[in-house]
Amino acid sequence: MTAMSATLTHLVDDLNAGRLRIVDLTQPLEPSTPVIDLPPIFAASPGVTIDAISRYDDKGPAWYWNTLRFGEHTGTHFDAPIHWITGKDLPDNACDTIPARRFVGPACVIDVTRDVDANPDFLLTLDRLEQWERQHGRIQRGSWVLLRTGWSRRTDRAAFLNVGADGPHSPGFDAAVSTLLAKDRDVLGVGVETIGTDAGQAGTFNPPFPNHTVMHGAGKFGLASLCNLDQLPPTGAVVIAAPLKIVNGSGSPVRVIAIV
């Protein structure tokens, strides 16, 4: 028998002793889970349906199980590079081919809650990113960059989607930030509390949906509809986000956990 490494022994001991904690960054997945609204000229993702196959009844007297139906990008979910046209020809770009090592990384949490409270269309700019790095250190290669906006406090569907006459309003990233994170900082990807990794108005930006365009074009990932980011320190947590191994999958609902 091989002895457990000291690192893993400490990990288990520290979890058992409460010196390390698991924080669940995942929203419940249920029929009321909000799904992104696209303009009606585009195909829409269905909502969540959960139908019992059997529940200790005639259809299966001793067992309970369900049939699930939903789009790959539903609830707390993972965006693979193949999701976007800019990432469609990259190697290892789908849920089944991304090396599993890349599902684990340190978290950098950027808190812009107050800015977003004042302006739901707030975009993280280079200035703000540099300010964060001056305070907390340079974002390391292979990090998850999580944008803490407080948006997950919006438990009401209409408030969460925040759609006005001119489309949805929710925060995101300035294109220059996405470019710096993807190309220079070489992060794993970005995670957000909102329905997608681009701002609500990003369909009107140039290019449209710049964060998807840049991140996935560089082989980076996205995490959407996260919660409990307020329980993470700015640095020092490790995030694990592993999508279902869907062959050629563009994304998947995911249970995202942080070790803090």
Q: How many residues bind Mn ion (CB under 5 A)?
A: 2
Residue 35: what residue type? Answer: V
Nearer to Mn ion, 123 or 195 (CB): 195
b/e map of 17-41 (b: 16 or more CB within 10 Å)? eeebeebebbbebeeebbbbeeeee
In the chain, which ranges are E strands? Answer: 22-24, 49-57, 60-69, 77-79, 104-111, 123-124, 144-148, 163-164, 167-168, 172-173, 189-192, 221-224, 237-240, 251-253, 257-259
The interface region with Mn ion, picked from 45-53, 79-87, 112-120, 159-167 by CB under 5 A, is 79-87
Rounded-to-integer distance, Cα 27 and Cα 256, Å: 9
Residue 205 beta carbon to Mn ion: minimum distance, rounded to whole angstroms: 17
* CA geometry: angle 2, 19, 231, nearest 5 deg: 120
The interface region with Mn ion, picked from 71-79, 136-144, 179-187, 205-213 by CB under 5 A, is 71-79
Q: Tell me how far the alpha carbon of residue 88 is from its chain's centroid.
A: 19
Residues 134-173: x where in contact with Mn ion by CB under 5 A, - otherwise, as a string: ----------------------------------------
For β-strands 163-164 and 167-168, DSSP reports them as: antiparallel
Residue 36 beta carbon to Mn ion: minimum distance, rounded to whole angstroms: 8
Residue 196 beta carbon to Mn ion: minimum distance, rounded to whole angstroms: 5
Closest residue to Mn ion, judged by C-beta, is: 73
Strand partners, 123: 172
Nearer to Mn ion, 47 or 234 (CB): 47
Residue 78 beta carbon to Mn ion: minimum distance, rounded to whole angstroms: 8
Q: Which residue in the set 26, 33, 70, 79 belongs to the binding site for Mn ion (CB under 5 A)?
A: 79
Question: Any residues with CB less than 8 A from the CB of 54 and at least 6 apart, and which?
Answer: 60, 61, 63, 64, 65
> Helix (H, G, I), strand (E, B), or coil: what is residue 47?
coil
Q: Residue for token digits 């199980």?
A: 65
Nearer to Mn ion, 79 or 193 (CB): 79
The interface region with Mn ion, picked from 43-51, 69-77, 120-128, 178-186 by CB under 5 A, is 69-77
The interface region with Mn ion, picked from 42-50, 70-78, 156-164, 213-221 by CB under 5 A, is 70-78
Q: Residue for token digits 């929710």?
A: 170
Rounded-to-integer distance, Cα 146 and Cα 107, Å: 7
Q: Which residue in the set 25, 71, 73, 198 belongs to the binding site for Mn ion (CB under 5 A)?
A: 73
Residues 215-254: x where in contact with Mn ion by CB under 5 A, - otherwise, as a string: ----------------------------------------
Nearer to Mn ion, 18 or 39 (CB): 39
Nearer to Mn ion, 79 or 174 (CB): 79
* Residues carrying an active site annotation: 83
Query: Could you list the residues that contact Mn ion (CB under 5 A)?
Result: 73, 79
